[in-house]
Copies of this chain bind each other. A is one copy, B any other.
Amino acid sequence: MLSLFNDEYFMKKALEEAESAYDKGEIPVGVVVVINDRIIARGHNLTETLNDVTAHAEMQAITAAANFLGGKSLQNCTMYITLEPCQMCAGALYWSQISKIVFGAEDLQRGYRKFGVQLHPKTEVKSGILAKEASDILKRFFIERRNLN
């Protein structure tokens, strides 16, 4: 039997979060955190709205997921992220000991892999899920921004 709940399904939910960021004039990145096919936390970038460089989608979702679970550790969780995490977010994911991250588009400029940032040894990584969609919304955002200025 085919399950409704595959990587594309959850990445679409993360893309919906990215759309929410876009609508607020934020760089459109979104995430969801999943445990046993259930979304327990969502987040989208809010650095401008909150005036806070730490308010990346992943950071908020780590806090929210831990709050939901009643414990700091995100073992047994998977985070779906539209864009490759930055150094800060990968560092936070390290501390969370999350089981798996799945990201869409690569970030060759600011992504954690460029700098050698380490995830937890227990964390599995998968990438490229709906990468074009994740990349397209970012391109659309930056083109619109350029035209405004």
How many residues on chain A are close to B (CB under 8 Å)? 28
- Complex CA gap A91/B114 in Å reads 13
Stretch in contact with the other chain, from A4-12, A31-39, A66-74, A140-148: A66-74
Q: Does A129 sit within 8 A of B, measured CB to CB?
A: no
Residue of B nearest to A59 (CB): B54
Beyond the given A51-B71, A86-B95, A87-B87, could you list 9 further A-B residue pairs with CB under 8 A, ordered by the A residue number? Answer: A48-B72, A52-B63, A86-B91, A87-B88, A87-B91, A87-B94, A87-B118, A88-B88, A117-B117
Q: Which residues from chain A sit less than 8 Å from chain B, CB to CB?
A: 47-48, 51-54, 59, 62-63, 66-67, 70-72, 86-92, 94-96, 115-118
